[in-house]
Amino acid sequence: MVVLGIESSCDETSAAVVVDGREVRSNVVASQIPIHARYGGVVPELASRAHVLDVIPVIEKALAEAAIELRQVDGIAVTSGPGLIGSLLVGIEVAKALAFRINKPLVGVNHVEAHLMAPFVAVDEGWDPPCFPALGLAVSGGHTSLVRIDGYGQYQVVGQTRDDAAGEALDKVGKALGLGYPGGVFIDRLGASGNPSALDFPRAMRRKGNFEFSFSGLKTSVMTHLGKLDHLPQGEELADLCASVQEAVVDVLVYKAVAAAKAEKLRCVLLTGGVSANRRLRTKMMAACRKAGIAACVPPRSLCTDNAGMVAGLGFHALSGLSPEERTGFHSFDVGARSSWPVGT
């Protein structure tokens, strides 16, 4: 089944062609980073306008790269939440128009669930293949959740952040340090040459059996540290600060993911979401899982940050679950945008 995926929930416009939920024929991403960088964060109205300009060229490019014509698409999957309403609506309305045009089914998918199931797309040699039941860690700019996954559509949230998402905390620290946007990417880059134990930032809520997260204390602690300095760190001092902040975030994510997998008796951890592109997190998660005898599935970085490949991958399972009548044509006028959409509901 050839699925066209469309993603526009935040600041990336993306389209992908994925065959049978596994084979990524194309995965095109138009990033809006240059537009939002000067504000240090996503400006929703600017995001919607950029999606309007990018969405059709991105879809055309995805089809061309896959050497697929629109009429050869068997179904369309679009992110319908959670996300920015104006941004979501752009992808959804275009998806509806295309599905209506080719008279094929359309499904709306949950963005966080698409992140969680990304390791099942483009399964590669060189990393542990994912399996059910698994413990998924979705860690992005908007979400930090530990989810027990028993199969497609079978999700149970084990723990999540009470305040900032991990990526959000990294981005805010990056902004305070005068780094570029998004801060997480710069902290990864600069932290690589720093000393992760140079500064001791808090690792919150590390009590046994507690799978909730909190990152606002870490952010405050960095701001307090900066407030005591009479200058913005540069060079080695900046590298050490980035490495130490990154280490505090990574330690908590790794510790809780492995502890939750053990508590739920799960043999497989799926590391997903934009922050899972972080090299220190990938390395430490794989090492900790290996030590605990748990498989660590860490998808390629292109499937970690926002992309439509993961949307098409998850959409395939929804589309192939439709009845034969539902599969024959377009009937999905009711797919709508949801700013909030808890996993598994």
Q: Which does 185 bind (CB under 5 to 8 A by kind): Zn ion, ligand KG4, none?
A: ligand KG4
* Closer residue to Zn ion in complex, CB, 73/117: 117
* Part of the chain binding ligand KG4 (CB under 6 A), chosen from 57-65, 167-175, 229-237, 283-291: 167-175
Cα separation, 226 vs 302, in Å, equals 33
Q: Report, in Å, the least distance between residue 339 CB and ligand KG4.
A: 13
- Hey, what are 109's tokens? 């998918």
Among 140, 244, 272, 307, binds Zn ion (CB under 5 A): 140
Among 75, 91, 105, 182, binds ligand KG4 (CB under 6 A): 182
CB count within 10 Å of CB 115 equals 32
Sheet holding 154-160, edge to edge: 154-160, 144-151, 134-139, 268-272, 295-297
Which candidate, 182, 186, 196, 146, places its Cα nearest to that of 32? 182
* Part of the chain binding ligand KG4 (CB under 6 A), chosen from 66-74, 123-131, 176-184, 260-268: 176-184
For residue 106, the surrounding DSSP H or E stretch is: strand 106-110
Among 222, 277, 285, 286, binds ligand KG4 (CB under 6 A): 277
Q: Which does 164 bind (CB under 5 to 8 A by kind): Zn ion, ligand KG4, none?
A: none
Among 26, 79, 87, 305, binds ligand KG4 (CB under 6 A): 305
Q: Which does 167 bind (CB under 5 to 8 A by kind): ligand KG4, Zn ion, none?
A: ligand KG4
* Closer residue to ligand KG4 in complex, CB, 75/142: 142
Cα separation, 218 vs 200, in Å, equals 10
Which candidate, 64, 67, 50, places its Cα nearest to that of 13? 50
C-alpha to C-alpha distances, 317 to 53, 238, 312, 337, nearest whole angstrom: 30, 45, 9, 20
Q: Which does 114 bind (CB under 5 to 8 A by kind): ligand KG4, Zn ion, none?
A: none
Among 130, 159, 167, 299, binds ligand KG4 (CB under 6 A): 167
* Closer residue to ligand KG4 in complex, CB, 8/26: 8
Cα separation, 261 vs 134, in Å, equals 8
Residue for token pair 């990152």: 215
Binding site for ligand KG4 (CB under 6 A): 10, 140-142, 167, 170-171, 182-185, 188, 273-275, 277-278, 305-306
